[in-house]
Structure 1
């Protein structure tokens, strides 16, 4: 049996990039998660044969589940506070200390809420329909061509 590629890795990657742009980033923005912009710069589509992937930063898990009570490093929180609230160094340091204490005692707000629905957008019917439609646009003419060749053989 011969396996034929009806959708290329490049085409799958292109569709995954579109999913990120049309569905994932808007959900991220709706949830008000952006602070430094690093996550937005890093998230993107990837592909393997017959498989689409979306890659992002390790802390995506914290955006989805929240951070359970723990001590978060102050420099990270200070950098976050400066970016999120456009604060001076001194003001950001003060916010960082208060946020660190709150996270140590209670976890993050997303943790308290039971997490976010950031990645659930990838499983929603609208997203699935979009992926199927886009991949179908690539695959359908190739499948038709294969079938026509087989009928003529």
Structure 2
């Protein structure tokens, strides 16, 4: 095996690991904290509304690269489930601001804490070489996420 072959990324293999890894972590965190089933798209809306912030539905659609009608439907469901509040803007009653409720932020915090704990425990069972490789890969994975986000804008 050449040096090039040992360092060349198997992109298809990486892609085939990412999605199941995410689903496995999500299911394990839900089970560990007895969290309700919240669809990924709703979790992304909560993630986009950190504590103390508000955003207009159109801003959320743009930030999450979703259609306005999709965001509107998500917000309607989330509001009915007590996860977001929509309020008219004081300076422009025709426009609304959206904020995550305390319930949503609590669920999100519990999910993040459970996810972090689960990953830490699982990583601790791996050999040192794997732990080092994972630690070194995190910045590259963050850059990969950012690069993939930018490619969504390219037709």
The TM-score bracket by the shorter chain reads 0.3 to 0.5
**TM-score between both structures, scaled by the size of structure 2:** 0.37
Structure having greater relative contact order (Cα 8 Å, sep ≥ 6): 1
Q: Which is greater in Rg?
A: 1
